[in-house]
Amino acid sequence: MWVPESSRWLVANGRHEEALVIMREAAIINGKDPLTLFPEGTIFIQAPEEEKGMHSVLCFFKKEWRSLMAALWGLNLMLAFLYLGPIQLVTLVFTEYDGQGGYIFDYFAIFASATAEIAGCFLDMALMSFGLGRVPSISALMIMLGIFTVSVCLVADDSAPNRSGLIVLTFLMRMYAMSVYQLIWLLTAEMIPTKIRNSGHSACLFFTRLGGAATPWFVNAATPYRVIGLTMGALSLLSSFLVSTLPETAGKAMGTAPLHDIGLEKPQKATGEIV
């Protein structure tokens, strides 16, 4: 009830006045003059006929989009391991076998590390406010996530790990995991062109869920900590490199950042009619 309807959907269904109200409200939120951006007499026109049929998965393999979508699919596949893996790792390192068929959980340590997700949200807001850019921020966060994941595994592999040190390390690991998870979803939405954004983002979600389903088969008590740490560290470095190959989206119109990579046409200057 609090989220405004899609203006594009409203226009497609002939509800032009409602779409105009939402666009003007968005302008106000962004500190712009709504009547300057959308003056009296502004009309919306529906997408041209050639845009229809852009909801098929086959459109992802078109020349102008396939390299972008392949990179985003690979990134979102690894994202599941890099976000869900640390969560499961925390449970592993703070659980002990009681010798009688049961387990003892260190609930305080698990809860303390979980609060890191709040810190991750504030870290993202700070990075975006300082205008450091999506791509360099995510690349750096990926590397930090890998460092702390490996550190957690090395400390946990000790016969008598330091509990306080583990709590600090797992907190930082989960903070970076949460931060990376949110920023990649932001980058994904900004980078996919409007024509295929809904279906494209849904496809990325499929790969994230696919990775999420596979994560418990790897991050579990049967896998040595050092193997988990080295694998997660390698995935972090690979993801950081993959992100660095993507074009920056900060300060650019949504869906136009990869112009030089995927050959999209630049948006024309507004002339009173809004597409």
DSSP 87-104: HHHHHHHTEEE-SSS-EE
Q: Domains plus CATH for the chain?
A: 7-55+265-274 (no CATH), 57-260 (1.20.1250.20)
Could you report the per-residue pLDDT of 106-115, keeping only the tens digit for each? 899 999 999 9
Q: What is the model's pLDDT at position 251? A: 72
Record the tokens describing residue 257, joined without a space: 């950042």
Q: What is the mean pLDDT of residues 229-253?
A: 86
Q: What percent of the chain has pLDDT over 70?
A: 87
What integer best gives the mean pLDDT of the chain?
Answer: 82
CA distances from 87 to 31, 118, 124, 126, 175 (A): 38, 14, 19, 23, 11
pLDDT at 228 over 60: yes
Residue with tokens 């996530």: 145
Exposure letters 186-203 (e unless 16+ CB within 10 A, then b): ebbebbbbbbbbebbbeb
Residue 82 CA to residue 180 CA, distance in Å, equals 9
Residues 6+ apart with CB under 8 A from 18: 5, 10
pLDDT at 176 over 90: yes
Give the distance from CA 86 to its chain's centroid: 16
What is the value of pTM for the model shown? 0.74
Q: What is the model's pLDDT at position 174? A: 94
Residue 91 near residue 110 (C-beta atoms within 8 A): yes
Could you report the per-residue pLDDT of 183-218, keeping only the tens digit for each? 888 888 888 877 777 788 888 888 888 888 889 999
